[in-house]
Structure 1
Amino acid sequence: MTGPVIYSVSDVSDSQAAALRRRFLEAVEKEEVRDHVHPQDIVRARTDDLWCKRFMAHGDLEIDKAFDFMMDSVKFRHEWQVNELTHDSVVTEFFERGTLSVHGRDRDGAALMIFHSCLHERTHGERFERVKQFLVYWVEKIER
């Protein structure tokens, strides 16, 4: 029995990435969509072939799935103000505690994010939102 096929960006053709880009840019022309997408993400879609190819690979080379993933992603990024996150905008205590660190790479070359569970504390409410913001900051930093 074979497992699911996992696609990489090398499996995505330039024409597939271009088709996804066109569909995304057509969608953000509508004002009701554009209001939920950060301008930097629109520029990134226009200029970053790799970004579009990653959505296509994640969507199993199906443009509808890739488009849905892309729209969900840019809406999340806008809602969470990911493009505005900086080291100074997240709670410095989280850096000092060392609950989360990035060190080394796996065999595929992806950065390893290490969560030190012994340092974890249960949180809720506003503090929990700040912890999630800290995690999003790290994921974005690794992505860059």
Structure 2
Amino acid sequence: MSTNCIFIFLENLASGLYDTRDITRLQTDDAYAGCFIRHVMNDVSAAVSLTHTSLKWRKEMEINDLSETSFPRWVHDLSAMYYHNVDKEGRPVLIFHVARCKKDAEKHRLQKQYIAWIFEKHFLRHPDERVVVCFDMTGAGITNMDVELIKFQVTCFTTYYPSFLAYMLVFDMPWILNTIWRVIRTLLNEAQQKAVIFVKGDEIFSYIDRDQLLKTMGGTVGVATVYWGKGNESVVPK
């Protein structure tokens, strides 16, 4: 392990580059610290670098200060992103209804904070439990595809929230959006690309049981229900 890497990290810590709440968690929560090591296959130097990037970003985005009241009511009312039941392996499923979003560069920081806040709801409580992310592309078109926001979510999976993603389902993607997704996949390494699974119609039931999925996606559930994490606490506000 590079001693220079550690020295730089400690220097950054002393300069106030990180939120002290994140440092405290890193020192006291083995499951949280383990996410960084596990994500880079036990390469300690790489884990230190990854930790630096994640913690620096967390302070810049004020992640620890975000709450439900940090966002306008209309953001919540979109119901574009929420945890909903589990997959066949019992992992929580995070649904993202792409058609409910519109590209708006002026709101990117707010949107990124909201996405991070949703991720945080699970990652804060269960850093050792991976999540299935399902992009519901039903009815989505070019105006709904914000490449910058999708790149941001990819970076969340690869860097900001290490070991968070179990796999990603892309459900019923219109052919017109194929080119955009090909560009996005170039941002992923080979292992991460294999974790992106495109499904249409009933193919999704190979991963999520019908009684765990919304009717709008071919399931039997009429109303969205949040996933209840270990210990029976809701991981997102109702």
The TM tier, using the shorter chain, reads 0.7 to 0.9
Q: Is the 8 A contact 1:82 1:136 kept in 2?
A: yes
2:41 matched to which residue of 1?
60
Read off the aligned partner of 2:115 and give its amino acid letter: L
Change in Cα spacing, 1:107 to 1:40, as seen in structure 2 (3 Å) is farther
Q: Is the 8 A contact 2:37 2:43 kept in 1?
A: yes
1:43 matched to which residue of 2?
24
1:141 aligns with 2:121: yes
SS in 2 for 1:54: helix
- TM-score normalised to structure 2 length: 0.46
- TM-score normalised to structure 1 length: 0.74
Change in Cα spacing, 1:43 to 1:109, as seen in structure 2 (3 Å) is farther
2:110 matched to which residue of 1?
130
TM-aligned CA deviation for residue 102 of structure 1:
1.1
2:67 matched to which residue of 1?
86
2:93 matched to which residue of 1?
112
Deviations 1:16-41 (A, max 9, x none): xxxx9xx9986554366541100101
User: How far, CA to CA, are the matches of 1:65 and 1:107 in structure 2?
Assistant: 32
How many residues align? The count is 122
The structure carrying a bigger strand percent of its residues is 2
Read off the aligned partner of 1:133 and give its amino acid letter: Q
Question: Please, which runs of 5 or more residues in structure 1 have no aligned partner?
Answer: 1-19
Change in Cα spacing, 1:54 to 1:68, as seen in structure 2 (3 Å) is same
Identify which of 50, 56, 59 aligns with 1:69: 50
Question: Please, which runs of 5 or more residues in structure 2 have no aligned partner?
Answer: 125-238
Read off the aligned partner of 2:34 and give its amino acid letter: K
1:98 aligns with 2:79: yes
Sequence identity (%): 21
TM-aligned CA deviation for residue 117 of structure 1:
1.5
The structure carrying a bigger helix percent of its residues is 1
Change in Cα spacing, 1:31 to 1:98, as seen in structure 2 (3 Å) is closer
User: How far, CA to CA, are the matches of 1:25 and 1:104 in structure 2?
Assistant: 40
Q: Is the 8 A contact 1:38 1:77 kept in 2?
A: yes
User: How far, CA to CA, are the matches of 1:108 and 1:121 in structure 2?
Assistant: 33
Deviations 1:48-69 (A, max 9, x none): 1111111100011110111111
Read off the aligned partner of 2:45 and give its amino acid letter: D
User: How far, CA to CA, are the matches of 2:50 and 2:25 in structure 1?
Assistant: 15
Q: Is the 8 A contact 1:27 1:33 kept in 2?
A: no
Read off the aligned partner of 2:63 and give its amino acid letter: V
